[in-house]
Chain A
Amino acid sequence: MDKRLPRDRIAGGAHQAIAHDSAAKHVTGEALYIDDIPAPPNLVHLFAGTATKAHARLTRLDLAAVRAAPGVVAVLTAEDIPGTNDVSPVGAGDDPIFCEGEVVFLGQVLFAVAAESFDSARAAAKLAVAEYEELPALLTVEAALQAGSFLLPDHVMRRGDAAAAIRGAPGRLGGRLAIGGQDHFYLEGQVSLALPQEDGDVLIHCSTQHPSEVQQGVAHVLGRPRNAVTVEVRRMGGGFGGKETQAAQWAAIAALAAVKTGRPAKFRFERDDDMIMTGKRHDFLIDYDVGFDREGRILGIEFMQACRGGCSADLTGAIADRAMFHADNGYYLDQVAITSHRCRTNTVSNTAFRGFGGPQGMMGIETVMEAIARRLGKDPLEIRKLNLYGKGERNITPYHQTVEENVLPETIAALEADADYAGRRRAIAAFNAESPWLKKGLALTPVKFGISFTTSHLNQAGALIHIYTDGSIHLNHGGTEMGQGLFVKVAQVVAEELQVDLDRIKITATSTGKVPNTSATAASSGSDINGMAALAAARTLKQRLIDFAADRYKVPPAEVRFLPGRIAIGAPGRIVEEIAFPDLIKEAWLARVSLSATGYYATPGIYYDRSTASGRPFYYFAYGAAVSEVLVDSLTGEYKVARVDILHDVGKSLNPAIDLGQIEGGFIQGMGWLTSEELVWDSTGRLRTHAPSTYKIPACSDRPADFRMTLLANENREPAIFRSKAVGEPPLMLAISVFAAISDAIASLAGYRLLPALDAPATPERVLLAVEEIRARQAADLTRQDRPRHQARPAAIRRARSAE
């Protein structure tokens, strides 16, 4: 089609369901990832030598044989660092790139080898002689709680007198839930390619969600100002939070090698090393103590959340905060106290992972919902609906933010009807009555997820747009592309604003040299903040063009309008001239109008006061709900997810195809976290599940055959980018419905009157053990006490709590 002809609509504007910008390059193998960049001449390859103890003093490190090995160019240790041996993202000073004296986890980097080939680097690294004086290691949350080992001070959110409300309530339950961690399992492992530049500067191609933080870490290690370090990333082969803070160490080692050897240096992880040496989703222990009325309405509740931060602070503080911010999920907790312990252990430092603590926080309250339902002999959905936030009342969160928009009641009602929850509930009861071994389970769970970085100053973004004299557009912003479709969404925003076809816009690699001081592409905020920054840049350019055209054609600015592919001069109905976009650009250039602009955005109106645990940390909430149905084998604990129905709120979608992809992908990833993905450490602190042969993310056949997704018809009530809502993280938590459905199937074995003792992930083993346990408990007629699960907190926890 001739783009100069008048048209009604541009190709690829906002709200259109168009393909990922790299789709054709993905399917042909043309899309370049960092390890695919043609090897520069003289490249050295890096391999890390790591500690074999979880906690020890390193008494001797003899690297003579490493240095003498064939192909070795350099061996790097802490002594080679010109700057500071630390890449902590929060200034905690506890993330050394090379161990200095004290080993704090098994897999910690002691040194790195730079060699002519990857194989020679790896072979040489194995020749190191390390001697240790072992120290006692804390390997679990329980052990850390017992020892009082914490990375950060506890944090408490409270309103009213929860303890009194619980004591005075007609019903009371307590219990504990253990929730496992999760490996990101991005298909592309961590990788950095560092290229030495003049003046001792360095350019780093790094697979990271946070180029500015990598830049900061590298500059810190090199002892150079940040303007000596440029970090660039075109795309990642998946991130999910795992390449936010944790890319910096590998980039710093590569940069150090490049500076030391004067040669390009590449640090690419093999899968096993990646899984052993990088942090994961935090595993949690959650204790609850809840008081409720005879209908099941919560009157008072206390949560104790303890998470495994690992060996350093990393982002544990913010993650543990977000778990607290989501301890309510979509429910009003009137009298409430939430206490958070951030445990230090001798394991790899845990980090961001899609949901960032939110999923774990929600697991706690969703378990409480089921516990109350079992006690009262009601359908858990009834209890959930009863406890939802109200509209205009019962709408203040435990951190004192008002829930101004609440679409959960109507979302749940619509989903309940569309998915025929009631009919299926009856059919399942009939099936279970007839089937002695296989049991079906059903659950509907909601999601309310707060959008914004809870560290308020991070909610800012920048963009840069150039228009060249042929009318082609170069778009850049601080967000990174990890597969989530951010780049195409932001390009759609610019296309929409300038009314040009999407293919006029070149999407370019994120670079600290173009947009500085950026925040991580994280917290689901990517399109919200970068979209707004790009919109601001586009508006600046548009205004310049309007001013120019108004002057040039002698019309008021209001009579210069951007129509698809062209600019109309004159009032509607009295158009005097239409100029194709490239022609106007050429004219503007000749008239010496600047065709490059930056844009900037800061999310308005958000703050959080830690001292009072109150504020408005979230700009808005994203909502959703899911119904899952499962079939459980009570003889083996195996199960199948048979059907899933989802209704999810993305506001007015920027790109429905991309958003549906995020919803389904997030759901399946969440399902993996709660079912088959089990991290196993042995008693020495060695991770035993460090490759896909032992760590099982969902495979194709795990995707339910019957999977129905609908976008909620909604618009963001806040003026977020084109009234859309963030979508990266919230759908992951819809998968809590799978876990709840498995629990429901197990509960059927005891007449739905007992809460199964099921921890996450619900592997077949945990399911079978829960089946056995609930049968035994029923047989022992412990119904009224629910003892096996709801016993008093272990002494270790009481001690930890009394130490507050």
Chain B
Amino acid sequence: MSGRIRFLLGTERREVEVADPTMTVLNYLRLVEQRTGTKEGCAEGDCGACTVVLAELGHDHLAYRAVNSCIQFLPSLDGKQLLSVEDLASSRSVLHPAQQAMVECHGSQCGFCTPGFVMSLFALFHAPGHLDRRRIDDALAGNLCRCTGYGPIIAAASRMKEIADGDRFDEAEAETVRALRALRGQPGEAGEAPDGRRWFAPRRIEDLAELVLSFPEASLVAGATDAGLWVTKQHRRLDPVIYLGEVEELARIAVGPETIEIGAGVTYDRLQEVIAADYPDFAELLRRLGSTQIRNCGTMGGNIANGSPIGDSPPPLIALGARLVLRRSAARREIALEDFFLDYGKQDRRPGEFVESIRLPRRDPAWRFACYKISKRFDQDITASLGAFNLKLAGGGVADIRICFGGMAAIPKRARECEAALIGRPWSLDTVREGQAALRRDYTPISDMRASRGYRALAAENLLLKFFHETGEGAALTRTRILQPAGPSHG
């Protein structure tokens, strides 16, 4: 237990004794390294002023990921390259194309959000493919600007690759890969802070299993997109902390003929690509989950295991019949995902157990799936209400249907009454009206700052109606922003 981590800060190797295992990367940069270019705007991963980029070894190349340094903990840097805004310009007079484009397009006014935007643009600069408005919106959804109205920044995003197609980071890639490889090969790290807080960062899943067994009270931290706020907003003392980010087995996705097996450590960003063909609506939902920075870190296991009633992935997963694999030491048990959520803040996770994977059935052409998320702001907002519908029609009637809502109860909850009112009935407006009445028996939503109970209830009923119209024969438009499903054949 050396308690040390090794990473590159820009091109410089750092080996750091972890004195505070939940020190944020932002505080490390600002207070320890005196790099004050990176700003704190919200300390909860919502404004993006703190955005930095982590470069990691892919197979042979580097992957650049924008992350929120305000909620990432220092140990998450182990083995990676950390780039902050100070690293980009090669000199005072030679700006990086992302920076140069921001200057040319008048992309900064007060400038406080600007370093974060520059880092998101830098990550986008290194992402393959053509940059259209949609991709730019996705890349910047996690960066709030209060001054410009975004137009000049969007222009800068479009402009930067005209200034140069590559940068000195591309030129130095081989060198950086070598330097990162030289950091690897260390055993899984662990340490104890001077104040007694313990932390572990296992590499093998067997080691993780034993650690969870030994410390059933430990906080399991994967992407820290929720756990980060326990520290920055709730000021909780986490002890011990087990970091899951180094466990490669947890980050696997296996696409089989019947099932997609999703490791608990798979990020939203990666899953989005994998499921896009089978479930475009689910992929679109994941695209709207948090921001690029959040999706780069947040994991499917975390989204489920924290038991939030407004987590975005459980309703579609439940509607699609997903199952959960829980592991305790070497033993595994598999349950229907819906059975995992017992009550508010209470899940069927036994001491010593952890979520290992999610098993998602592949698309069955006999079923039609859609999901809808309602929030005050379209991108990067937390769900007010989320409906997921999975319908099997036979001979014009409802052979089977699974409906699950988030934001409508203390847990992600199936609409059993509604389902019962629909199954075996013709798929008609009359049936839908009965289903809407049944929804009122299924849920008694609450009022909070995101929506009133009345709105939640009404919107839920209307979402069923919307699903009906999208699965019926008519071709009426039903979506303001996201892609219109392609009529009745949409699966």
Residues of chain A whose beta carbon lies under 8 Å from any beta carbon of chain B: 19-20, 22-33, 35-36, 38, 122-123, 184-189, 235-240, 270-272, 435-438, 482-485, 631-633, 635-640, 657-658, 660-661, 664-669, 676, 678, 680, 688-689, 691-694, 696-703, 705, 707, 763-765, 768-769, 772
State in angstroms the CA–CA spacing of A30 and B103 once bound together: 14
B363 within 8 Å of A (CB atoms): no
User: In the complex where A438-B480, A701-B137 touch, is A23 in contact with B102 (Cβ < 8 A)?
Assistant: yes
The listed residue (A640, A680, A696) touching B381 by CB distance below 8 A is: A696
Complex Cα gap A696–B103 (Å): 27
B459 touches A483 (CB 8 A): no
Decide: B149 and A668 in contact? CB cutoff 8 A: yes
Main secondary structure of the interface of B (DSSP, over half): loop
Report yes or no: A700 in contact with B43, Cβ–Cβ below 8 A: no
- Contacts beyond the supplied A35-B36, A438-B479, A694-B382: 17 A-B pairs with Cβ under 8 Å: A20-B108, A20-B111, A23-B108, A24-B103, A122-B235, A186-B146, A188-B41, A438-B476, A484-B109, A638-B378, A669-B146, A678-B376, A692-B42, A692-B144, A694-B449, A699-B378, A765-B455
Given A36-B36, A483-B111, A638-B374, A271 and B43 touching (CB < 8 A)?
Answer: yes
> Could you say which residues of chain A place their CB within 8 Å of the CB of B86?
28-29
Q: How many A-B residue pairs have CB under 8 A?
A: 264
Does B180 interact with chain A (Cβ within 8 Å)? no
Q: How far is the CB of B291 from chain A (nearest CB, A)?
A: 8
Of the listed stretches B251-259, B425-433, B462-470, chain A binds: B462-470
| Chain B: minimal CB distance from A295 (Å) | 35
30 residue pairs A–B, Cβ–Cβ below 8 Å:
A19-B106, A26-B102, A26-B111, A27-B99, A28-B85, A28-B89, A29-B35, A30-B37, A33-B39, A184-B146, A187-B39, A633-B479, A633-B480, A636-B466, A638-B374, A638-B481, A657-B106, A661-B147, A665-B147, A665-B148, A669-B149, A676-B376, A692-B47, A694-B382, A696-B375, A700-B136, A700-B137, A700-B143, A763-B376, A768-B459
- Most-contacted residue by chain A among B37, B104, B112, B147 (CB, 10 A): B147
Is B154 within 8 A of A25, CB to CB? no
Instruction: Tell whether, in the assembled complex, residue B152 and residue A661 are in contact, meaning their CB atoms are under 8 Å apart.
Output: yes
Which of A123, A631, A701 has the most B CB atoms < 10 Å from its CB? A701
Contact B377 A665 (CB under 8 A): no
| A188 CB, min distance to chain B CBs, angstroms | 4
> Main SS of chain A's interface residues?
loop
Contact of A668 with B47 in the complex, beta carbons under 8 Å:
no
Q: Does any Cβ of A come within 8 Å of B415's Cβ?
A: no
Question: Contacts of A271 on B, CB cut-off 8 Å?
Answer: 41-44, 47
Looking across the interface, which residue of chain B has its beta carbon closest to that of A660? B106
- Which residues of B (18-55) have their CB < 8 Å from a CB of A? 34-44, 46-47, 49
B110 A689 Cβ-Cβ under 8 A: no
B66 within 8 A of A: no
Q: Which residue of B lies closest to A26 (CB)?
A: B111
- Among candidates A27, A29, A693, residue contacting B382 with C-beta atoms closer than 8 Å: A693
CA distance A631 to B143 in the complex (A): 25
Interface centre among A666, A668, A676, A693 (most CB of B within 10 A): A693
Given A635-B466, A699-B380, A700-B150, A188:B478 Cβ within 8 A = no
Q: Which residue of chain B lies nearest to A239 when distances are taken between CB atoms in the complex?
A: B110
Given A638-B481, A699-B380: A28 and B37 interface contact (C-beta under 8 Å): yes
Q: Mark B397-417, 1 if CB is under 8 A from A, else 0.
A: 000000000000000000000
B114 near A27 (CB under 8 angstroms)? Answer: yes
Give Cα A426–Cα B471 distance, bound, in whole angstroms. 30
**Residue B325 interfacial (CB < 8 Å):** no
Please report the C-alpha to C-alpha distance between residue A763 and residue B465 in the assembled complex, in whole angstroms.
21
Which B residues fall within an 8 A CB radius of A? Answer: 34-44, 46-47, 49, 84-86, 88-89, 92, 95, 98-100, 102-104, 106-115, 118, 133, 136-137, 140-141, 143-154, 233, 235, 372, 374-382, 384, 448-452, 454-455, 458-459, 462-463, 465-466, 469, 476-481
How far in angstroms is the closest Cβ of chain B from A280? 14
Do residues A664 and B37 form an inter-chain contact, with CB atoms below 8 A? Answer: no
Whose C-beta in chain A lies nearest to the C-beta of B462? A635
Q: Determine if B379 and A702 form an interchain contact, defined as CB atoms under 8 angstroms apart.
A: yes
Given the interface pairs A20-B108, A29-B86, A638-B481, the reply to whether A270 lies near B149 with Cβ below 8 Å is no
Q: How far is the CA of A705 from the CA of B86 in the complex (A)?
A: 32
Who on chain A is nearest to B108 by CB? A26
| Residues of the B chain whose Cβ atoms lie less than 8 Å from the Cβ of A688 | 448-449
**B140 contact set on A, CB distance < 8 A:** 699-700
**Candidates B85, B112, B481; contact of A640 at CB < 8 Å:** B481
List chain B residues, Cβ under 8 A from A189: 41
Query: Which residues of the partner chain A approach B380 to less than 8 Å between Cβ atoms?
Result: 699
Cα of A548 to Cα of B37 in the assembled complex, Å: 47
Whether A701 contacts B149 in the complex (CB less than 8 A), given A27-B118, A187-B110, A632-B480, comes out as no
Complex Cα distance, B407 from A598, in Å, reads 62
B108 touches A27 (CB 8 A): yes
Question: Across the interface, which residues of A come within 8 angstroms of B37, CB to CB?
Answer: 28-30
User: Residue of B at shortest CB range from A188?
Assistant: B112
Interfacial chain A residues near B106, Cβ < 8 Å:
19-20, 23, 657-658, 660-661
Whether A27 and B102, one on each chain, are in contact in the complex, defined by CB atoms closer than 8 angstroms, is yes
B residues near A697, Cβ cutoff 8 Å: 144, 146
Q: Are B141 and A699 in contact (CB under 8 A)?
A: yes
The 6 A-B residue pairs with the shortest CB-CB distance in the complex, in nearest-first order: A29-B37, A483-B110, A237-B112, A26-B111, A668-B149, A483-B109
Most buried by B among A272, A636, A678: A636
Contact in complex: A29, B43 (CB < 8 Å)? no
A676 contacts across to B, CB distance below 8 A: 376-377
B44–A29 CB distance below 8 A: no
Find chain B residues with CB under 8 A from A188 CB: 39, 41, 110, 112
In angstroms, Cα B114 to Cα A187, docked, is 10
Q: Is the CB of A635 within 8 A of B36?
A: no
Chain B's closest residue to A36 (CB) is B36
Q: Which residues of A contact B374 (CB under 8 A)?
A: 636, 638, 764
Q: Are A768 and B455 in contact (CB under 8 A)?
A: yes
Please, how many angstroms separate the alpha-carbon atoms of A661 and B34 in the complex? Answer: 32
Q: How far is the CA of A40 from the CA of B39 in the complex (A)?
A: 19
Kindly provide the distance from the CB of A237 to the nearest chain B CB, expressed in whole angstroms: 3
A187–B103 touching, CB < 8 Å? no
Residue in B95, B151, B451 whose beta carbon sits within 8 Å of that of A707 in the complex: B151
Which partner residue on chain A sits nearest B118 by CB separation? A27
B109 and A703 contact, CB distance less than 8 A: no
Distance (Å) between the CB of A239 and the closest chain B CB?
Answer: 8
Contact B377 A696 (CB under 8 A): yes
Q: How far is the CA of A23 from the CA of B108 in the complex (A)?
A: 6
User: Which residues on A sit within 8 Å (CB–CB) of B104?
Assistant: 19
Query: Would A661 and B154 count as touching, CB distance under 8 A?
Result: no
Query: What is the CB-to-nearest-CB distance from A658 to chain B, in angstroms, rounded to a whole number?
Result: 8
Identify B46's interface contact among A25, A35, A692, A700, CB under 8 A. A692
Q: Chain B: which residue is nearest A761 at the CB level?
A: B376
- Report the minimal beta-carbon distance from A662 to chain B, rounded to whole angstroms: 8
Which of B103, B107, B153, B477 makes the CB contact (< 8 A) with A438?
B477
Given A272-B233, A435-B477, A689-B449, A701 contacting B112 (CB threshold 8 A): no
Hey, which chain A residues are within 8 Å of B41, CB to CB? 187-189, 271, 692
Contact A703-B147, Cβ < 8 Å, known A635-B478, A636-B463: no
| Set of chain A residues within 8 Å of B233, measured between Cβ atoms | 272, 691
Using CB atoms, name the residue of chain B closest to A670.
Answer: B149
Known: A122-B235, A437-B469, A635-B478. A694 touches B450 (CB 8 A): yes
A769 CA to B457 CA, complexed, in Å: 12
Q: How far is the CB of A20 from chain B (nearest CB, A)?
A: 6
**Beta-carbon contact of A699 and B111 below 8 Å:** no
Please measure, in the bound complex, the distance between the C-alpha atom of A237 and the C-alpha atom of B476, giving whole angstroms: 46
Q: How far is the CB of A123 from chain B (nearest CB, A)?
A: 7
Q: Are the CB atoms of A437 and B109 closer together than 8 Å?
A: no
Give Cα distance in the complex from A697 to B48, angstroms. 13
A17, closest chain B residue (CB): B106
A22 touches B376 (CB 8 A): no
**Bound complex: CA A639 to CA B479 (Å):** 9
If A485-B109, A635-B478 touch, whether A661 touches B148 (CB-CB below 8 Å) is yes
